[in-house]
Amino acid sequence: MKYWREHEKNIKQALSGKKTKTDWAKLYSQHQEKIKLIQHERLIHLLVTLAFGLFSLITFFSLALKSVCHVNI
């Protein structure tokens, strides 16, 4: 979280005009890298959530099938 706060602080300083010289190309490049990082994190969280849901459904249906069919698995 610390690096996100630092990034936000840098963006706000650049946009407020408090910095006399702002390297907009460098700031843009850094911002793009942060966006890529957060998109990657969100993708990983989505895949973990989907995997958990899939395995939960498989477990639920296998237990339901076992109790209905009285099959020893």
Q: One digit per residue, pLDDT tens: the chain, 73 residues?
A: 787 888 888 888 888 887 678 888 998 999 999 999 999 999 999 999 999 999 999 999 998 888 888 766 5
pTM for the whole structure: 0.68
Domain count, the chain: 1
Q: How far apart are CA 41 and CA 51, in angstroms?
A: 15
Query: 11, 31 in Cβ contact below 8 A?
Result: yes
Encoded amino acid at 34, one letter: K
For residue 10, the enclosing domain spans 2-69
